[in-house]
Chains A and B, each alone.
Chain A
Amino acid sequence: MSHETAASEASAAPASADPAVQRPVPFRGGGFVHRPLGSVAPVVFLAILALWEIGARSGFISPIALPAPSEAFGALVDLATTGMLWKHLGASLYRLVVGWTLGSLLGIAFGLAIGLFSLARSGLLPLVSALFPVPKIALLPLFIIWFGIGEGSKVATILFGTFFPTVIATYAGVDNVDRNLIRMGQSFGLSWLSIVRKIIVPGAMPAILSGFRISASIAIVLLVAAEMIGAEFGIGAYILMAGALFALDQLIAGVALLSVLGLCISWLIGRAEKRLLSWRS
């Protein structure tokens, strides 16, 4: 748009050679900059919902293909009033929190070891590189044998799924810490532990936190996949059940729950970034 105005201004000022006529220098610096437009996102979201609702009610969208959003909302309300919402959500959150926390803690520990010790790097890094691309859900049957059909196998799937990206984010973060800062620490006689605690870990924190974003979304994907295999409760089990019964309103409700869960987690990580990385402008 600024493109057009610039062009029209340029043509409006005729290239007259008269030296007495002063004309403004045409502006051509516009565009390529993003302005935050806070109100656009909810409007788009509501517009899609409204169109969908209208389409469903007018019969343009067949109820067999896609239920109206109001029906999905009704299913959600049903779920809440029967108390099943908390049961499903609680089971899922428990698995997610335990699996992700353990996976992240182990991942940070291994990542630091790989980042700090040559022996750990030569020994563990090839292993991590070999196992990282394996879809952890493929290992679920194995985990069921090892950890039982109950919570163990589900938590283990999420744990392994978050472990590898966290390892890689952490050791890459350690590698990226400014060498000059480490040298500065050494030149002031800081102990090894102080250098790790006060220079390397805070320096790797941005990378670790962006690793969290990735590992959290992997965790949600694995959560649903694991719950689709032999779980009584959980959002994944709910979605699977709804799908088996072709209760599409419930299916949509379950998917909406997942999406809200993902948004909440990304908001929490955003808050953590704000707090821990406030030093970065």
Chain B
Amino acid sequence: MQLALQNISHRYGGTTVLDDISFTVDDGEIVCIVGPSGCGKSTLLRIAGGLERPAGGQALVSGAPPEGSLNPLTYIFQDFALLPWRTVEGNVSLVLEDHGINGRERRAVIADVLARTNLTDFARALPRQLSGGMKQRVAIARALAVKPAIMLMDEPLSALDSQTRELLMDDLIALWSRERFSACYVTHNLNEAVRLGRRIVVLSRRPGRIREVVEIEMPLAERAERLAELEKLQRRVWEIMREEAREADREITDVA
């Protein structure tokens, strides 16, 4: 399945947040979106997932979702968004209940996704008993349960410490190698962007416009070994962003 954003513009009150953004996410491709704080990355992702209506332009999907996909466009949130009153199992179960998957079938799906995210031993734990990394694994398990075609990830690793982030990034890469999901991955962290992205869309400060799209041909599996080359790419992206970030930092915002 493909996701295409066409000439997306958006305003909050009188402030233009996004201005004429177009790009596509192809099958099995991870597109990273980076940009200075407040440039509208989260807004763009909400528009892509149908949680917000853009003021201009449109978000389009094409192609059939994979067999049995319950929720083709699926989010992974920065703050995990787990229901604190449900166990790990219950949180995964939540997204299946509404799709009429019950009884043995539901238990099988839950067991499967928990096994794939190494959470089987934590099935009956409550979110408050888990570390941040574990919580995000639960959120990933929950997303996998609905067999997404395209994952929309809004800074999924930002709330984690850097060691946990490394571990989860390895998990994500392993997962992607097996499942080849497509993803739109918003991040602040340029290292994550060059480690995961097939393409990196660099946005300018608010109003967010596309500054540049950086393509990275290197296969994901090789990137852990070729860090020196990635370092160079990362520096290039930073050069593009640097002035924007500095200016964005010095801006006075009057929007909440």
The residues of A with any CB-CB pair to B shorter than 8 Å are: 178, 180-181, 183-191, 194, 198-199, 202, 205, 279-281
User: Which residues of chain B are near A187, meaning CB under 8 Å?
Assistant: 49, 51, 71, 73-75, 152
Q: Smallest CB–CB gap between A59 and chain B, Å?
A: 59
Q: Is B126 an interface residue (CB 8 A)?
A: yes
Does B95 contact A188, Cβ atoms closer than 8 Å?
yes
| B128 touches which of A178, A185, A199, A281 (Cβ 8 Å) | A281
Does B128 contact A279, Cβ atoms closer than 8 Å?
yes
| A180 touches which of B70, B81, B86, B94 (Cβ 8 Å) | B81
26 contacts between A and B (CB under 8 A): A180-B77, A181-B81, A183-B51, A183-B81, A186-B51, A187-B71, A187-B73, A187-B75, A187-B152, A188-B74, A188-B94, A188-B146, A189-B98, A189-B99, A190-B95, A191-B98, A194-B98, A198-B94, A198-B97, A199-B83, A202-B83, A202-B85, A205-B85, A279-B84, A279-B126, A279-B128
Does A184 contact B128, Cβ atoms closer than 8 Å?
no
Q: A22 to B146, alpha carbons, bound, how many Å?
A: 64
Q: Is B26 an interface residue (CB 8 A)?
A: no
Does A189 contact B51, Cβ atoms closer than 8 Å?
no
Return the chain A residue nearest B96 by Cβ. Answer: A188
Q: Smallest CB–CB gap between B68 and chain A, Å?
A: 14
Q: Is B112 an interface residue (CB 8 A)?
A: no
Q: A187-B51, A188-B146, A194-B97 are in contact. Are A180 and B79 (CB under 8 A)?
A: yes
User: Which residues of chain B are near A181, meaning CB under 8 Å?
Assistant: 81, 83
Q: A180-B77, A279-B126, A279-B128 are in contact. Are A189 and B70 (CB under 8 A)?
A: yes
User: Which residues of chain B are near A280, meaning CB under 8 Å?
Assistant: 84, 128
Q: A36 to B142, alpha carbons, bound, how many Å?
A: 41
Does A198 contact B146, Cβ atoms closer than 8 Å?
no
Does A279 contact B85, Cβ atoms closer than 8 Å?
yes
Does B77 contact A184, Cβ atoms closer than 8 Å?
yes
Does A189 contact B128, Cβ atoms closer than 8 Å?
no
Closest 7 CB pairs of A and B: A184-B81, A279-B85, A188-B95, A187-B75, A190-B98, A202-B85, A180-B81
Q: Smallest CB–CB gap between B15 and chain A, Å?
A: 20
Q: A27 to B163, alpha carbons, bound, how many Å?
A: 35
Q: A250 to B99, alpha carbons, bound, how many Å?
A: 63
Does A189 contact B71, Cβ atoms closer than 8 Å?
yes
Q: A280 to B79, alpha carbons, bound, how many Å?
A: 18
Q: A183 to B83, alpha carbons, bound, how many Å?
A: 12
Contact with A along B88-120 (1 / 0, CB 8 A): 000000110111000000000000000000000
Return the chain A residue nearest B49 by Cβ. Answer: A187
Q: A186 to B97, alpha carbons, bound, how many Å?
A: 14
User: Which residues of chain A are near B70, meaning CB under 8 Å?
Assistant: 189
Q: A196 to B212, alpha carbons, bound, how many Å?
A: 42
Return the chain B residue nearest A189 by Cβ. Answer: B71
Contact with A along B30-61 (1 / 0, CB 8 A): 00000000000000000001010000000000
User: Which residues of chain A are near B152, meaning CB under 8 Å?
Assistant: 187
Q: A188 to B50, alpha carbons, bound, how many Å?
A: 11
User: Which residues of chain A are near B84, meaning CB under 8 Å?
Assistant: 279-280
Most buried by A among B73, B79, B94: B94
Q: Smallest CB–CB gap between B245 and chain A, Å?
A: 26
Instruction: A198-B83, A280-B128 given; name 16 further pairs at CB < 8 Å.
Output: A178-B81, A180-B77, A180-B81, A183-B51, A186-B51, A187-B51, A187-B74, A187-B152, A188-B74, A188-B142, A189-B98, A190-B94, A198-B94, A199-B83, A202-B83, A279-B84
Return the chain A residue nearest B90 by Cβ. Answer: A198
Does A188 contact B71, Cβ atoms closer than 8 Å?
yes
Return the chain A residue nearest B46 by Cβ. Answer: A183
Q: A280 to B73, alpha carbons, bound, how many Å?
A: 31
